[in-house]
Chain A
Amino acid sequence: MSFQGRHVCHIADMTVADVDRVLDAAERLLPAARGERTLEAAKGKILATLFFEPSTRTRLSFESAMHRLGGNVISVAEPGSTSATKGETLADTIRMVSSYGDVVVLRHPREGAARLASRYSRVPVINAGDGAGQHPTQTLTDLFTIRKAKGEIRPNTVTIAGDLKYGRTVHSLAQALAMYGAEMVFVAPESLQVPADMRQHLDAMGARYRLASTLEEVVGETDVLYMTRIQKERFPDLDEYRKVAGVFRVTPSLLAEGKKGIVVLHPLPRVGEIDPAVDDTPAAKYFEQAAYGVPVRMALLAEILGLKGVA
């Protein structure tokens, strides 16, 4: 089913067939994403980005994707420069912005902000991260990277490590992996493990997962090691942050104990979870992962905007 005109606020807004369709299109769009082919499919279309929180990769890759499709981008450069600082409600901001573009990309510090925006927007809303909630386009990029590295998604054991409580990329990814039936291992200090709500939801989906507390005990059975940053900005108490920061670190010697063919992903930025010495090993896929953000977002925009002859 085409999802022209649909909002993407949550990974559950998409079926496995939808995701496969985007990933297949992203594969075909790789040359255009690298600038080897020029497209004009989105000529005359405008992407409006609205980032109430800082972002480097997500915003740049969305903007690059729209430009690569031949479309235009309008942006609010600084979160502090929007009318929200004057007390405007998110609903009013979205009503206004959605009349200036054909699709809105929103990042916001509050959980559920994208869903709220979708209820007031005249055009499709794409969630580019809402608090500790969801980050579905990062998940599409993660799935694409797993598929590129491993051929398929389902038969892998994916170990997700770091901040599993506040990390929104984790929440989207775990649900998507459950949809595909992949096996998961969650490695985190107890205070940052997957929240109970999320576990109940995964249980209801019939997800296959287990919890662990060290990377060493699971690296031998891991096909994909997905590292995340412990996010200082999400800790109300800095003492709590200091207790858990730097607990997990991927090094060449850890990977030497790992399963044959293990690959390492990270949504970036990293602050010490991955030793730079890993960068030059065949396991390191995180920079490719960041690059895949462009073809994946091109594919998603093309689907949502109903662009013809793109891939």
Chain B
Amino acid sequence: MQELKVQPIRNGTVIDHITAGRAVAVMRILGLPRPGSTSTITAAMNVPSSRGRKDILKIEDRELDANEVNKIALIAPNATINIVREYEVSRKEHVQLPEKVSGLVKCPNPNCVTNHEPVRTQFLVVARDPVKLRCGYCDREVADVADHVA
């Protein structure tokens, strides 16, 4: 039996199957750790699994909302979200990247109108793994999505 490297959590969220090396980026876009929060956050990186290496993130006392799940989909398209209550997985879902992404990403083109006018950005998903987006205003393609999540 494999040794348990990470303690189970009582309540919160476990994000599994994060693309290896992306756990820190996921933490950054989720704003973790929250200022003032004392919740425990555990990151496991390069964990062996049946589908190669992966990262895992355990966040105690916090359940992610849909907007946060969408953000994760942008940088870790194969991640699964496990909502844990009293040590049991009460809900498990795969992140799903929609065909269009609104407001979550900032256009990297400094002269794009969205960087100068108060308007929600809109991107088309042109590739899914790795994720590549195209700005719905200026057509700029974004490959390094993690660097541009708003």
Contact = CB atoms under 8 A, between A and B. Distances in A.
B136 interface: yes
B20 interface: no
B109 A116 contact: no
Most chain B beta carbons < 10 A, residue from A10, A111, A132: A111
A130 interface: yes
Contacts of A132: 111
Contacts of B138: 111-112, 131, 133
Chain A residues touching B, range: 10 to 19
A233 interface: no
A134 to B, nearest CB: 8
Interface in B53-94: none
Contact of A116 (B111, B117, B139, B141): B117
Nearest to B137: A112
A259 interface: no
Nearest to B119: A116
A108 B116 CA distance: 12
A200 B140 CA distance: 11
Contacts of A112: 112-114, 135-139
B119 A115 contact: no
Contacts of A281: none
A116 B140 contact: no
Nearest to B132: A200
A90 B112 CA distance: 13
Interface in B93-121: 109, 111-114, 116-119
Contact of B137 (A89, A91, A109, A111): A111
Given A109-B111, A110-B117, A131-B113, 15 more contacts: A110-B113, A111-B112, A111-B113, A111-B139, A112-B112, A112-B114, A112-B135, A112-B139, A115-B113, A115-B137, A116-B119, A130-B113, A133-B139, A197-B140, A200-B141
A31 to B, nearest CB: 38
B125 to A, nearest CB: 15
B116 A110 contact: yes
A10 B139 CA distance: 10
B148 to A, nearest CB: 15
Most chain A beta-carbon neighbours within 10 Å: one of B112, B118, B119, B137: B137
Given A116-B119, A197-B139, A200-B141, A90 B111 contact: no
15 contacts: A89-B118, A110-B112, A110-B113, A111-B113, A111-B139, A111-B140, A112-B114, A113-B113, A115-B113, A116-B137, A131-B113, A131-B138, A132-B111, A133-B138, A201-B139
